Each structure stands twice: as structure tokens, then as C-alpha cells.
Amino acid sequence: MAKRPASNVTLTNRKWAIGYSIAGGILFAIYQFLLPWDGLPDGIYRAVYQWMPPAAVNESLVYVLMALGLNIVVGYAGLLDLGYVAFWAIGGYCAGWFMSEFFYFLNVHFFGSVGLERPGIHINFWMVLIIGGFVCALFGVLIGAPTLRLKSDYLALVTLGFGEIIPQVFFNGENFFGFNISNGTKGIVVVDPIPVGVKNLGPFDFGWKLLVFLLLTAVMVFVSLRLRKGRLGRAWLAIREDELAASMMGVPLMRTKLASYAVGAFSGGLGGVAFATHVNGVYAERFNFAISIFLLAMVVLGGMGNVWGVILGAFVLSWVNGTGLVAFGKTFNTQFGTNIDFASFTFLLFGLVLILMMLYKREGLLPESRLKLVLNEDELDTDSEAKKAKK
Amino acid sequence: MSNVIEAKEVSVAFGGLLAVNAVDFNIPERSVVSLIGPNGAGKTTFFNVLTGLYKPSAGSIQYNDRDITDLPPHKIASIGIARTFQNIRLFGLMTAQENLLVAMHSRLKSGITSTILRTPKQRREELAAEAKAQEILDFVGIGKWTYEFARNLSYGDQRRLEVARALALEPKVLLLDEPTAGMNPQESQVFVDFVRRLVKERDLSIMLIEHDMKVVMSVSERITVLDQGEKIAEGTPDQIKNNPRVVEAYLGKAKE
């Protein structure tokens, strides 16, 4: 008789929260207190800055946020989305619009973090987060409504289209039917700092911002795990397993898929706002197609459907992309006196990783427990078949 | 006795091919009716029309005096018409319990926020749903496999789980598409008893597509025969057994 799976017990819910807080607390302590400490040996200080600079950790966390959102669409509901960067862009511009001097002819302040004399719209960061999330969710539904009737490959193609269109609109947004919505290629520079009560977190408060991003990520993990176990999560899984059977069992396909788009896009919006505060501005050229693929690679590499796998995948890939490869190249070049531009091999490396993963570890680094079951069984099957063939 | 489902002159065309041609079909309340016919006669197509998967090119379908011809499949399922599939279509990577809970989707109320916050109401609802799922699993006799993945169950248990999943919709009508395919005679006999139990204890009307004549003859109150999309006979098992057109459709015409 099969036992009740442990994941249904509430205790394990608390377990992850404790583990997460400890890991997050250590990270925070390192970057907030240990690095600025005068007694720290110079070697360690330089090693950390070369291999794991504070900015890289924060950026990784933003990628984690995005990847978690994409995981709901791709991993939970099984809908291939190649245009996820669109939500990142929309979230980013929400921050640009509501937290800067972009609308210089207005003077709106709402618990903002800058002086009342500054022009533009200055809404509190935490509220902009929510606004960005909801605006993205709305766009998720708007994009999803016409496209979700399509199946697999066709859906992927249309999402790819939207993933191109929306960033292009912002890229050329200096004159959008007569309105300037994005400053075009110049971008919206200087986004308001994050108010956390006692102080405002500017561009160089990496440690405290790390804490803010950790908190946002924790919220998304929590939401992902809770939704997964509820009525909606089951319906998503059922659609991933067998769409037709799901509709025959009373699951409204459109509404359920739209819900996954909306929740995924909401997380994308959080990521967009967070990224804008991380780089202290919104730049249209940052939102390109490669990001969508990059995020998808994180979800696939880490393990579709498993939040911990996705977090790992996002961390590893964004680290390799932003820091790891460059740092490795520098060390390698000084060691052997060569002059190889390692950073230019990023895509070669990613391509290689994806191919190898598909060949040898299709379920990802930390697979979802359900999928592990299938892949192990398949191995058993081929083993027994091979044995039979030998006989 | 009134009819739960009344299909009137239903036709389904795939391009030029008329898969179902002006078929009238009723399912009386609390009865077992069967649809038989040679392969390719249009039986499963007719099933798919009743459950909303295909839209009929002509004709209409009434369910308890309500026109359901144009309703989408999930609506039809949630108002009380459940089905199983010819080739089992369970959610393989979900547990038996989850399979049933998915079918309860339309009956459950909790939304995104209440699930995230896990409100007392949502927890109560989930617990009640789980209890009900267990009751149904016990009813079909696979109560010990609640937390087992559907794909790990034996073939017979998967068939039972499909019926259990359909029952979780709390249907008034249950459509079974070749439920005894792949069963041996003993298992088929068990199944016949099970169908009778369903009608008696669950207050169901059942429509059956079946190739096993022994099962069909022993369980059905009325049999309808389709051949090449057309209804060629309808009646009690005895009438059907002796109908020359039915014999012809199944075995071919005797040489003159």
C-alpha cells in the first residue's frame, strides 16, 4: 500500500522555509558584514569579488524570480512560452513609469522614497511591485486569450512573436502614436531607491537589496508550492498530462491556461520591477529574445516543475553567463599566458549544455519527483529488454 | 420513464465522410443502454458528440430538457455527463486521489488567493474532497491505491480508476467506451455486476459501447446497432440477436 506522500504534510512546508532563511541569512551576512570587514584577508576579498561579486548574486536572484514565473507556465501547465521576456520588459517599464522622473510634467508622490520637490511619478517600491505584477498578469491574459487556442509548437511560435513585439514597442517607444512611452534606446535612467522604513536602498546597497530580492523569491516559492497542491495546480498538471481528458473531466481549458499565464506573468512583473531597481534604470536593449531562451534553459536545466531545480538552474546559468565564464577566462589566461576571449563562448557553452542535458539527463538537475519516476522506469525497461535480447 | 438524454437526428460529417448519419438516440433514466456495431461504425464518434468533443453537423442533443448541443466539453462534463475512454486516458503522473480531485474541479470553489493563503474554508473543502475521493475509490475497489501514481496501477485497476474518476464528477449519465476491452471472461462478469451496482447504488444511467456480446446481452435493457454511421436496429437483446440486418452487418450476407 502506497503511503501518503510526505510532501502533503505541513511540516515539510516549514522545513523549506527554515532552510531557505538560513541559506539566505548566510548569503546576506557574507555580503553585508563580512565583505566590508577590515580584518578580512585581501585574498579572500578579491576572490569573492572576482568569482561572486554582490551584483552577480542580486542579478541571479532576479533571474530566479523570472524563472520561477516561467516554471509555472512551462513546468506546471506544460505550455511552451518562448516570449517570456515581454513580461520582464513590461514589469521593468512599470518601474520606469511609476518610480522615476520620466513623466517630468507630473508631480505625483505616494509614499515614494524621494523628496516631494522632484517631478515625475514616485510611488512606493512595494506598491509598484504589485502594480507591475498585476499589469503583467493583465497582459498575460491579453496575450493568452487569442493564442492559447493553439497547441504546442504553434503556441510557442506565437509567444515568440509577442516576445519580439513588446520589447520592440518599447525600443521604438519614443514616439508611440505621438507619445513617448519609453525614451527609446536612451532608456529610463535613475529609478527611485527602495524604501525599507529605516533607509532607502540605492544602487550600491547590495547587501540590503539582496535581502529584498531574497524575500521576493521566497514569496514566489511559497506561491508556487501552495498553488501546486491546490485545485488550480492539479488542473494545470492534468492539462500537462492529457489536455483532452482534462476537458472531459470538467476542467475549463482556456480559463485554467490563462490562470497559469497570469500567475507566471505576475512573477515576471515582480522580476521586471526588481531588475529595474537592481540596474537602477530601464534599458530597452536588455530585453531581447535571447533572454527568453536563457530563462527557458534555466527551467529545463534545473528541472521543469520543481521550484528547487529551477532556482538551481537559474543560479548556475546566470552565474556562468555573468561572472563565471569571465572569471574563469581571466584566471586561465593569466595562468597559461593565453589570450582567449572566454566570454564570447557563452552560447557555445549553453548549446553544449542543453544538448548534453537532453542526451543524458533529460529531467534536469533536480527533477520533479513525478518525472524521476518515469525516467527511472524507462531505464529499467530498457535494461530488462537488453537482458532479454542477450538471452 | 423519462429520458435523461435525447439525441435527435444527430449527424457528424468529416469533410465528405458522414461518420454518423441522422441517428436518434435516447438514454432513459436509471437504465443501461448499449451501442454496438462493427469497427468504424461511428460509435465512438457518437460518444464524442454527446460529450461535446465534436459538434454535430446537424441535429440536437437534449439533457434533462436542456439543449447541450453547443456547450463546450468541460461544461457538459460538469453538468453531469461523464465518460471513460476506449484507450485508457488517466493522468499517469498523478496519484489515484489526484485523478479524482481533478474531476471534482468544477465542484470545488477555492481560487488562487484562498489556495495561496490556505484559508480554513479552502482546507475544509480540500479535506471533504479527499474524503469523497476515498469513498469513491473504495466503492470501485481500489481504495488501497489512493496515493499510488495512476501509471503504476495494473491494467484492471486503471480501468476501475477511470470509472472512479468519472464518478467523481457526480454524473447523472455515465458513458463507458469499451470498458471490458482486454478483460478475461471472469473479469468481464465482475464488470457486469459492477455496472448493475452502479445503476442501483449511484442512481446512474449508463450508456455502453461494447464488443463483448456476452456483456452487452446480459447487462443492457436496450441495444442500438450502428453500421457505417446509420442506425440499423434498436431493441431488446432478444430482438437484436435475431435481427437479420444486424447479423448481416456483423457477419456479412449469406450467399444466395
Q: Do B108 and A2 touch (CB under 8 A)?
A: no
Chain A hits for B93, CB-CB cut-off 8 Å, are 237, 241, 370-371, 373-374
Chain B environment of A230 (Cβ under 8 Å): 110, 115, 122, 126
Nearest to B51 among A4, A229, A248 (CB): A248
CB contact under 8 Å between A373 and B93, yes or no, is yes
* Alpha carbon distance A149, B142 (integer Å): 36
Tens of pLDDT, residues A281-321: 888 888 888 889 889 989 988 888 889 999 999 998 998 88
Do residues A64 and A214 touch, judged by C-beta distance below 8 A?
Answer: no
Helix segments in B141-184, DSSP class H:
155-167
**Sign of the CA dihedral B116, B119, B123, B128?**
negative
Query: Is the Cβ–Cβ distance between B218 and B180 less than 8 Å?
Result: no
DSSP label of B121:
H
Interface A-B: count of C-beta contacts within 8 A: 113
Chain A residue closest in CA terms to B88: A245
Answer positive or negative: Cα dihedral of B54, B60, B65, B71. Answer: positive
pLDDT in tens, B31-90: 999 999 888 888 899 999 999 999 999 999 999 988 999 999 999 999 999 999 988 999
Residue of A nearest to B52 (CA): A248
The answer to whether the beta carbons of residues A66 and A299 sit under 8 Å apart is no
Residues 6+ apart with CB under 8 A from B228: B40, B41, B42
A1 contacts B91? CB cut-off 8 A: no
Candidates B68, B76, B112: best to mutate against A (most CBs of A within 10 A) is: B112
Residue in chain A closest to B76 (alpha carbons) equals A250
Give me the half-sphere count of Cα atoms (radius 13 Å) on the Cβ side of residue A355.
Answer: 6
Average pLDDT of chain B to the nearest whole number: 90
Residue with cell 530601464: A282
Beta carbons of B51 and A237 less than 8 Å apart: no
> Which residues share a beta bridge with B34?
B208, B223
A363–chain B nearest CA distance, Å: 14
pLDDT one-digit tens code per residue, A253-292: 999 999 999 999 999 999 999 999 988 888 888 888 888 9
Domains, chain B, with CATH or none? 1-80+171-256 (3.40.50.300), 90-169 (no CATH)
Residue A1 has pLDDT above 70, yes or no: no
pLDDT mean over B213-230: 90
Q: What is the mean pLDDT of residues B207-228?
A: 90
Backbone angles phi, psi at B128, to 5 degrees: -65, -40
Q: If pLDDT is split at 50, 70 and 90, which confidence band does B212 have?
A: confident
CA distance A162 to chain B (A): 26
pLDDT grade, residue A105 (50/70/90)? confident
Q: Do A1 and B92 touch (CB under 8 A)?
A: no
Residues of B with Cβ-Cβ distance to A243 under 8 angstroms: none
Residues of A in contact with B147 (CB under 8 A): 2-5
Looking at residue B209, its pLDDT comes to 92
Contacts of A227 in chain B (CB under 8 A): 112, 115-116
The nearest CA of chain A is from the CA of B34 a distance in Å of 21
Of B125, B131, B206, B203, residue with least CA distance to B163: B206
Q: Is the pTM of this model over 0.90?
A: no
User: How confident is the model at residue A90, as a pLDDT?
Assistant: 93
CB contact under 8 A, B72 and A227: no
- Percentage of the residues of chain A whose pLDDT score is greater than 70: 91
- SS3 of A45-75: the string is HHHHHHHCCHHHHHHHHHHHHHHHHHHHHHH
A53, three cell numbers:
561579486
- Three cell numbers written together for B107: 465542484
Interface residue ranges in chain B relative to chain A, Cβ cutoff 8 Å: 51, 53, 72-75, 77-78, 82-83, 85, 89-95, 98, 101-103, 105-106, 108, 110-112, 115-116, 118, 122, 126, 144-149, 151, 165-166, 168-169
Say which of B77, B91, B106 has its CB closest to residue A242: B91
Contact at CB, B53 and A244, closer than 8 angstroms: yes
- pLDDT, position A192: 85
Q: Do A232 and B91 lie within an 8 Å CB cutoff?
A: no
Answer yes or no: do A246 and B144 touch at CB < 8 A: no
CB contact under 8 A, B169 and A241: no
Residue A13: predicted pLDDT = 62
The type of residue at B60 is S
How close A82 comes to chain B (CA, Å)?
A: 25
Is 1.10.3470 the CATH number for A17-379? yes
Grid cell digits, residue B206:
449508463
> In this complex, do B105 and A248 lie within 8 Å of one another by their Cβ atoms?
no
Q: Do residues A113 and A101 touch, judged by C-beta distance below 8 A? A: no
pLDDT of residue B220: 92
Model confidence band, residue A9 (pLDDT cutoffs 50, 70, 90):
very low
